[in-house]
Amino acid sequence: MAAETTTTTSAAPGRFSGLREFWYYFSMNHGAVLGLAVFLLLILVAIFAPVLAPFPPDQQFREFIRMAPSWAGGTQPQFFLGTDEVGRDILSRLIHGARFSLFIGFFVVVLAMITGVTFGLLAGYFRGWVDAMIMRVMDIILAFPSLLLALVMVAILGPGLLNAMLAIALVLQPHFARLTRAAVLSEKSREYVTSAKVAGAGHLRQMFITILPNCLGPLIVQATLSFSNAILDAAALGFLGMGAQPPTPEWGTMLARAREFITSAWWIVTMPGLAILITVLAINLVGDGLRDALDPKLKRS
Amino acid sequence: MLRFILQKLALIVPTIIGITIASFAFIRLLPGDPILAMASQYGVTPERYEILKHQYGYDLPIWQQYFNYVGGILQGNFGISLATKRPVIEEFMTLFPATVELALFAILIAVALGIPAGIFAAIKRGSWFDQITMGVALTGYSMPIFWWGLLLIIFFSGYLGWTPVSGRIAVSFFFPRVTGFMLIDSLIAGKPAGFVSALRHLILPAVVLATIPLAVIARQTRSAMLEVLGEDYVRTARAKGLEPSRVVAVHAFRNALIPVVTTIGLQVGLLMGGAILTETIFSWPGIGKWMIDSISKRDYVSVQSGLLLIALIVMAVNLIVDILYAVINPRIRVQ
């Protein structure tokens, strides 16, 4: 017990200086800071969507169908980004769509991370047949192209946003498992783990409290990558008609029928995709910054 | 070397068995009765149901069904498409060259642009060229490619009218199928105008499919080069007074190439996923579009076999990449 108290007290100041050091490296990357700002802005937009959006996302203005944006030849100044094929305000739909995309990202990453990290910990900690079983299953999942596997999963479960998210979480989860396993293998033989074991820590404590916090760096980077992948894959499934179903203002779903308007109403096609691109780009910028700040190997160069 | 290949093969056997189990389980995981699902809207009489159940072997114990399934695959029997009533493997082989042609062209674009861009970005680290290239690469990496394809259609097909919107070649061309690659078959048939038409159809989908691999390869090449440029042997080469271009080309690039080759290999699986979206947008008659059509037509036998075949192809390509990796990097072989 005495050993444990000393570790926690001595770790506390270290943790804060670690955070400061982290921010120092992170903020050196201007792109990452910009990405973080955009991402925080998007979260605010998602939270305050009903207040910010000029109209409800499903309200149809039948007299203003396929109205061009107000700055691009549209006659109606209240529709800043124009209206879609049934007269709904595109800006309002995009603002509400931010809720879906961010929710998809969070949900998928949390689910994939919890299951993947648990499997990876079990595999790396126990080795032997547990390891072999878990990692072979992960290999099988990774053998399929992820979008194809997600599509087939949705075909089994039925189209819809929840099923799409479950399918995407399933295909992203092996990356977490592999990463955790590799980190556990390199940490397991370190002295602090042995000392925890000698002090009488049980399997669960060793896995989750002793080892896991020291594997977090690469996992955080992977989580950001998975966040943007989840948004892209969910949008792709929505586009293919297998994700969120109309009239949900999910960005990919908004593009599902857009092909019909490529010659007649470019704004119906352009705007939702731009929203996806900006969101994913912002998250990937943050991911790059996190990798620079958390990867000690790159830090030196 | 032979031992290395055999070891690799032994390692993927469990995965291959797992893939067959997964694709076997697919039809049985579908909600509802598989026979009724196959019969779909037409319905089926009780007598016919029993006949079908026997015909497809659904009355056997589950493990026996699995062994029959694998036995069929080993004999090249991938089932009969529910939609067209033709053998699935025939449909697959007809459409597969279209996807390969598209994917090869895409990877060619990605490698031809990505590797030089990555090298120059690394040499001129921190310059405006580096920053712009990496900015563009990250944007490409973040691209929802189905939207990117639509944008390119709006601009190049709609606004400029340079390229056709869909398909592989203008319908006015017909020539015998030799390789299945339109670019090659048109030349074999001696129709250069057909070659031009095929190229015009190919260029936009290939650019769309190349976008993400191009971004990944450029980023990977840059970071591999940066790592290698800091190595002792590069410093030694520089200290010897070698031409900077020779140091980069001979000493640095050859060693940076190793991780880049792996990256290119890893793109194959992603290309298959990307092909689903690209082929759908451009109505490209390949297996990506075929999978989507099969899913929407509820042609589950085709979906099942397509899933299996695609996974096996991706695995085979990854195996070849692993072996290539060992050929260019002897250190791997010893491990």
Report the distance separating Cα B54 and Cα A121, nearest Å. Answer: 45
pLDDT at res. A217: 83
Structure tokens at A112: 């994939």
Report the mean per-residue pLDDT for chain A. Answer: 86
- We report the CATH number of the domain holding residue B153 as 1.10.3720.10
pLDDT at res. B194: 84
pLDDT at res. B96: 92
Phi, psi of B87 (to 5 degrees): -60, 135
Q: How far is B147 from chain A (nearest CA, A)?
A: 6
Report the distance separating Cα A176 and Cα A120, nearest Å. Answer: 7
Q: Give this complex's ipTM.
A: 0.87
Report the distance separating Cα A236 and Cα B27, nearest Å. Answer: 24
For B249-289, how does the pLDDT look when each residue is reduced to its tens digit (9 = 90+)? 777 887 788 778 878 877 877 888 889 999 999 999 999 99
Contact assignment for A145 to B153 by CB distance below 8 Å: no
Q: How confident is the model at residue A299 (pLDDT cuts 50, 70, 90)?
A: very low
* Out of A183-187, A267-271, B132-136, B176-180, least confident range: B176-180
Q: B114 CB contacts (<8 Å, ≥6 apart)?
A: B213, B214, B215, B216, B217, B218, B221
For residues A50 and B327, the model is more confident at: A50
Residue A101's CB is within 10 A of a number of other CB atoms, namely 26
Q: How far is A1 from chain B (nearest CA, A)?
A: 43
Could you tell me which residues are beta bridge partners of residue B87?
B80
Contact assignment for B276 to A147 by CB distance below 8 Å: yes
For A112-162, how does the pLDDT look when each residue is reduced to its tens digit (9 = 90+)? 999 999 999 999 999 889 999 999 899 889 888 889 999 999 988 888 999
Is residue B198 a part of any domain in this protein? yes
Q: Which of A146, A277, A285 sits opposite B144 (nearest CB)?
A: A277
Contacts of B10 in chain A (CB under 8 A): none
pLDDT at res. B140: 94
Helix B287-296 and helix B253-282, axial crossing angle in degrees, nearest 10:
40
User: B308 to chain A: nearest residue by CA?
Assistant: A144
Q: Which of A263, A250, A93 is nearest to A164 (CA)?
A: A250
Whether the pLDDT of residue A6 is over 50: the answer is no
For A206-216, how does the pLDDT look when each residue is reduced to its tens digit (9 = 90+)? 888 888 888 88
Is residue B272 a part of any domain in this protein? yes
User: B16 to chain A: nearest residue by CA?
Assistant: A140
For residues B303 and A259, the model is more confident at: B303
First-residue to last-residue Cα distance in chain B: 12
Report the distance separating Cα A160 and Cα B298, nearest Å. Answer: 17
Best mutation site among B23, B150, B209, B222 for testing chain A: the one with the most A CBs within 10 Å?
B150
Contacts of A221 in chain B (CB under 8 A): none
For A52-102, how does the pLDDT look when each residue is reduced to its tens digit (9 = 90+)? 888 888 888 888 777 788 777 777 777 888 888 888 888 999 999 999 999
Whether the pLDDT of residue A246 is over 50: the answer is yes
> CATH assignment of A31-298?
1.10.3720.10
Find the largest Cα–Cα distance for chain A. 76
Q: Which of B144, B150, B315 sits opposite A236 (nearest CB)?
A: B144
pLDDT in tens, chain B (335 residues): 788 888 888 888 888 999 999 888 887 787 767 677 666 666 678 888 888 788 777 778 888 888 888 898 888 888 888 788 889 999 999 999 999 999 999 999 999 999 999 999 998 888 999 999 999 999 999 999 999 999 999 889 888 888 888 888 887 777 778 788 888 888 888 888 888 888 899 999 999 999 999 999 999 999 888 888 888 888 888 888 888 777 777 778 877 887 788 788 778 778 888 899 999 999 999 999 999 999 888 888 899 899 999 999 888 888 888 888 777 777 766 55
Q: Which of A136, A156, A240 sits opposite B14 (nearest CB)?
A: A136
For B55-75, how does the pLDDT look when each residue is reduced to its tens digit (9 = 90+)? 777 778 888 888 888 898 888
pLDDT at res. B40: 62
Is the distance from CB of B70 to CB of B20 less than 8 angstroms? yes
Contacts of B22 in chain A (CB under 8 A): 140, 144
Report the distance separating Cα B182 and Cα B189, nearest Å. Answer: 10
Task: Give chain A's contact residues with B (Cβ, < 8 Å).
Answer: 31, 136-137, 139-140, 143-149, 151-152, 155-156, 158, 228, 232, 235-236, 239-242, 252, 255, 258-259, 262-263, 266, 269-270, 272-273, 276-277, 280-281, 283-285, 288, 301
% of chain A beyond a pLDDT of 70: 92
Whether the pLDDT of residue A11 is over 50: the answer is no
DSSP B207-241: HHHHHHHHHHHHHHHHHHHHHHHTSHHHHHHHHTT
Report the distance separating Cα B199 and Cα B201, nearest Å. Answer: 5
pLDDT at res. A207: 84
Range of the domain at B289: 88-332
pLDDT at res. B38: 66
- Tell me how many residue pairs between chain A and chain B have CB atoms under 8 A apart: 129
For chain B, the domain total comes to 1
Which residue type sits at B166?
A: S
Radius of gyration of chain B (CA): 24
Report the distance separating Cα B144 and Cα B212, nearest Å. Answer: 9
Report the distance separating Cα A115 and Cα A183, nearest Å. Answer: 16
User: B159 to chain A: nearest residue by CA?
Assistant: A263
Is residue B40 a part of any domain in this protein? no
* Per-residue b or e along B183-203, where b marks 16 or more CB atoms closer than 10 Å to that residue's CB: bebbbebebeebbebbbebbb
Report the distance separating Cα B120 and Cα B143, nearest Å. Answer: 23
Q: Which of A155, A269, A285 sits opposite B295 (nearest CB)?
A: A155
Whether the pLDDT of residue A33 is over 60: the answer is yes
Phi, psi of B113 (to 5 degrees): -95, -35
Whether the pLDDT of residue A238 is over 90: the answer is yes
Could you tell me which residues are beta bridge partners of residue A72?
none
DSSP B252: I
Q: B147 CB contacts (<8 Å, ≥6 apart)?
A: A239, A255, A269, A272, A273, A276, A277
pLDDT at res. A65: 78
DSSP B157-190: IIIS--S-SSSSS-TT-----SSS-HHHHHHHTT
Report the distance separating Cα A300 and Cα A298, nearest Å. Answer: 5
Whether the pLDDT of residue A300 is over 70: the answer is no
User: A273 to chain B: nearest residue by CA?
Assistant: B147
pLDDT at res. B203: 93
Residue B131's CB is within 10 A of a number of other CB atoms, namely 15
Is residue B81 a part of any domain in this protein? no
